[in-house]
Structure 1
């Protein structure tokens, strides 16, 4: 602290010299002088704090040394007294520390017992002195640092963001996200968890970059990873939505087709009119509803061995795509099913490709950190706190 105080004093004088320099002219010189003068005053405050705390610690060190010397003397007195007791009373060990009268009239023993008790009092006095002086000098130090040199919320945030635990947490979550991203290539449902963790890592990296404790490059790669994760999740949801839509369209087509067939079969009876015609219409409607329910309740198609391999483990989404294509083949004249089948196939490819790209981006970043100095240097060049959010120092 003494050395720091001396350096601060030197720098404060240098700032004052800059502020008082007459050799510089112009608006920039006035601005430089004002900034140097203000910084010099703050360095003075810092120097005062370090100098005062250094003095308090020096006094505290002297008090600790004094307490230690008293305790050492008490220990030596106790050892000397114990030697006399051990020499004159072999059974004294069993009664050591007791205030009971030993029953001995030997003056040496009595004097040794008194010395032992005196050593205890001396030690207690040293402990009490140590505690009192600790409180005293701690109060002095708190008073010395309670000055105008206050850390702003920004300084506190920078210190918090610079903590090693936050970086360790981000790295740990990144490792988990990397594994989940690879798994999501085969099972996109896992992508929801991977996307959530990617968002947390991105938030941590953003705070670190904002405070100058991390690289903005990490933030950019996190944004790219998060966007791809979101696209992968979105693509899987689109396929599911298209499959439901295709089922609904097919239900309507099946109903209409069944009713038309029933109508043609009952055409002669309907021309007769009357009660028989009404009965046929009821049956036609019932036939249509039954055809619609059959489509609705139709189980999802099974995948062939080749299709399972191409699905990369995401069998549910692949079954949904195959289901859409089945109804497209069932009703090839309906353009809506053709559009749904085409879009579902595209979205399936997007889901698998985005998770593959996400995993590749993550692996490339890790390899760059481990083996490429150019990569790490580029990240270093993109490390800087946000503009306009500096410290008062």
Structure 2
């Protein structure tokens, strides 16, 4: 604290000299002088605080050393008295009857040396209690002096209080470390159970929130923040791509269902075209002995055939809509980063594209799905690579990685 106070005094004098310099002209010189003078006054306040607290601590150190000597003397006296008591007690257990008679004759019921030792032990306890009482009283005294010295005109802002709170909250760093490793583990398991991906994303968000709080208060590295935001961005891109693939799969089913309906209806209509034409002619026929009943029966027959055509189309559409998702191979699953549903959706999209090769919509869906699948794989690969590198870089660089991150610590806001 003495060295800091001396350094602050030197800097305050330098700033004051800068503010009083008359060889600078212009508006910038006035601004520079005013800022230098203001900062110099703040450094003066800081120097007073450090110098006064240094004095209190020095005085307390001297008194504490005296108190320690008193406590050490009490300990030595107590140990010496205790050894005498133990020695005389053991000696009394083996003393002769003649010695006991001699003590009785002299009118003494207790060994005077033993008695003195017990008194010395009691005195040592008193000395220790006195030293401890003085310690409590003097420690409170100097604590009040230090509080008084730091209760000066140099006030900490609410932002400084927040930065101090974050600096003291070691548990925040523990939570961030725990959540980071948990996110890594859950992310790996999510390859086989994709529903856990949301948990991994939530854990990553917790880590990012803590790292941001530490970085803005000067208690953490902005490099960690960049890594966390990058991980969240990659995860978001992967989730958006997976969601897009699902929408494309549903769209492909719908489009294929419409094509199946259209095709089946057309084939059925082609098969009974002759019967429908005959029925239609009979329905329109007038005169020549054709009764109204015959026309109505012909119309009913035409409508029935047309209904059969529509039913055939609906059955075909339902078959496409309700068809089971295609089976996938181990390779399909690997290419989808372990996401079985994603692999089935991609294969389903490609299946309907191949079933209706003339459909530009289905071909476009398949092409878009492939791009989104590449985005999913790319996001996962990059995120995993960054995570592994972040956790293992220190062991490969002899902590050089952490030193690099420490150079990117910069609090937001004034220090005053």
TM over 0.5: yes
Deviation at 1:303, TM superposition (A): 3.3
Pair 1:86–1:352, CA change in 2 (3 A): closer
Measured against aligned partners, the alpha-carbon deviations of 1:227-247 in whole angstroms (never above 9, x if no partner) come to 333222211111111112222
Counterparts of 1:260 and 1:195 in 2: how far apart (Å)?
Answer: 50
Q: 1:131 aligns with which of 120, 124, 136?
A: 136
In 1, the alpha carbon distance for the partners of 2:220 and 2:83 equals 65
Find the residue that maps to 1:353 and give its secondary structure.
helix
Cα separation, partners in 2 of 1:131 and 1:357, compared to 1, 3 Å: closer
8 A Cα contact 1:181 1:355, kept in partner: no
Q: How many correspondences in the alignment?
A: 380
Q: Judge conservation of contact 1:251–1:295 (CA < 8 Å) in 2.
A: yes
Cα RMSD, aligned residues only: 4.6
Per-residue Cα deviation, 1:314-361 (whole angstroms, up to 9, x for no partner): 443232122123223434454433332232233223322333344566
CA distance in 1, matches of 2:121, 2:355: 106
Structure whose alpha-carbon radius of gyration is higher? 2
1:28 and 1:323, CA in 2 relative to 1: closer, same or farther beyond 3 A? closer
Q: What does 1:285-324 align with in structure 2 at a 5 Å threshold?
A: 288-303=313-328, 307=332, 311=336, 313-324=338-349
8 Å contact from structure 1 (residues 184, 355) kept in 2? no
Deviations 1:133-188 (A, max 9, x none): 22222222222212222333443455566788767876776677678888989997
Cα displacement string for residues 276-325 of structure 1 (whole angstroms, at most 9, x for unaligned residues): 77777776666555444432332111235765665564443232122123
| Distance in 1, Cα, partners of 2:221 & 2:69 | 53
Instruction: Please report how far the alpha carbon of residue 90 of structure 1 lies from its aligned counterpart in structure 2 after TM superposition.
Output: 2.9
Aligned equivalent of 1:148: 153
Partner of 2:99: none
Residue 43 to residue 307, structure 1, CA distance change in 2 (3 Å)? closer
TM alignment of 1:308-387, pairs within 5 A:
311=336, 313-359=338-384, 384-385=410-411
Instruction: Please identify, of 354-363 and 11-20, the stretch whose mean Cα deviation from structure 2 is larger.
Output: 354-363
Q: CA distance change for structure 1 residues 327 and 83 in 2, over 3 Å: closer, same or farther?
A: closer
> Is this contact kept in 2: 1:185–1:355, CA < 8 A?
no
- CA distances 1:29-60 after superposition (whole Å, capped 9, x unpaired): 33333223222222222222222222322332
How far does residue 105 in structure 1 lie from its aligned partner after superposition?
4.5
Partners of 2:91 and 2:404 lie apart in 1 by 79
Aligned-partner SS, 1:129: helix
CA contact (8 A) 2:335 2:377 kept: no
Contact 1:8/1:44 (<8 A) preserved: yes
Give the whole-Å Cα distance in 2 for the aligned partners of 1:66 and 1:33. 49
Kindly report which structure 2 residues correspond to 1:16-31, keeping only aligned pairs within 5 A, or say none. Answer: 16-31=16-31
What is aligned with 1:57? 57
Q: What's the CA shift string for 1:75-98, capped at 9, x where partnerless?
A: 3443454455445443889xxxxx
Question: Contact conserved, 1:318 with 1:348, CA < 8 A, in 2?
Answer: no
For structure 2, the residue ranges without an aligned partner over 5 or more in a row are 94-107, 284-296
Comparing 110-119 with 186-195, greater Cα deviation is found at 186-195
Match of 2:415 in 1: 391
1:99 aligns with: none
Q: Work out whether residues 191 and 232 of structure 1, in 8 Å CA contact, stay in contact via their aligned partners in 2.
A: no
Change (3 A) 1:304 1:365: closer
Aligned to 1:100: none
CA offsets 1:11-30 (integer angstroms, 9 cap, x no match)? 33333333333444443333
Mapped to 1, the partners of 2:143 and 2:336 lie a distance apart of 68
Give me the whole-angstrom Cα distance separating, in 1, the residues matched to 2:83 and 2:181: 65
Structure 1 Cα separation of the partners of residues 210 and 172 of structure 2:
7
What residue ranges of structure 1 are gaps of 5+ in the alignment? 94-102
**Which secondary structure state, in structure 2, belongs to the residue aligned with residue 90 of structure 1?**
helix
Counterparts of 1:331 and 1:72, CA distance in 2: 96
TM-aligned CA distance change 1:232 to 1:71, over 3 Å = closer
Distance 1:54 1:211 in 2: 27
Distance 1:234 1:310 in 2: 18
Q: Structure 1 residues 10 and 351, CA, compared in 2 at 3 Å: closer, same or farther?
A: closer
Any residues of structure 2 matched to 1:169-180 within 5 Å, and which? Answer: none
1-side partners of 2:382 and 2:83: how far apart?
81
The answer as to whether partners of 1:232 and 1:351 remain within 8 angstroms in 2 is yes
